[in-house]
Amino acid sequence: MNRIESIYNRLLEYYGPQYWWPGDTPFEVIVGAILTQNTAWTNVEKAINNLKPFLEPGVLHGMETDRLAQLIRPSGFFNIKARRLKNFLDWFKRKDFCLKALEDYSVEELRKELLSINGIGRETADSIILYALEKPIFVIDAYTRRMFERLGFMVPDDYDDVRRMFEESLEEDTRIFNEYHALIVRHSKEYCTRKPLCGACFLRDCCPAGKKSIEK
């Protein structure tokens, strides 16, 4: 068993399944993935609640951008995010607003199309692919980078190099990719915070940063 896999098993044993990403429908998950850029999930939840009566692709596509921006105001950067949502919906309309139509796309094809949409970056595209479309791709975020640097990994600078580091160390399994990312987020909020709680962390025995912190 490699070290990345071992850490996954320890996280899963400690926290249990996380049932992530929260959302009643795949489309709601997509909207959440776009809104969560540069903000806390609690703010996204408020915006999603405002959108609940309108959470159909065709309805949001036909909505005035200013009206959409006001509804998603709690998510922050609401004017920018409203335009990003509209850009996605313009693309999605060309697919007849049909998620099933995307099932035949390979991960690479789907990712290329999503990244062609103005305002959709790699983390957002990968979140849509993994959580909404349930295709195997590992999502990398700031929590992942911070946590694994502290754990002593040589984390590459490039997003896709980090993604491949995880994908090559794990079985290609949507469920595992989903769970692992959710567990990283959970652990980064519980222990591996900006000011880490190394003394109480159950991974401190395999964490160079944790050992160093305790020695001080």
Residues lower than pLDDT 70 in the chain? 213-216
Residue spans per domain, the chain:
3-16+140-215, 26-132
pLDDT for 214 equals 64
pLDDT for 211 equals 75
One CATH from 3.40.1790.10, 1.10.150.80, 3.40.1260.10, 1.10.340.30 for 26-132: 1.10.340.30
pTM over 0.85: yes
pLDDT for 216 equals 58
pLDDT for 212 equals 73
pLDDT for 24 equals 87
CB neighbours of 150 closer than 8 A, spacing ≥ 6?
192, 196, 207, 208, 209, 210
Token digits of residue 21? 């990403």
Please choose, from the candidates 13, 27, 17, 9, the residue with its C-alpha nearest in 3D space to the C-alpha of residue 131: 27
CA distances to 12, 13, 111, 173, 175 from 106, rounded to whole Å, are 29, 32, 8, 15, 17
For 34-56, write each residue's pLDDT tens digit.
999 989 889 999 999 999 999 99
For 138-161, write each residue's pLDDT tens digit.
999 999 999 999 999 999 999 999
May I ask the CATH class of domain 3-16+140-215?
mainly alpha
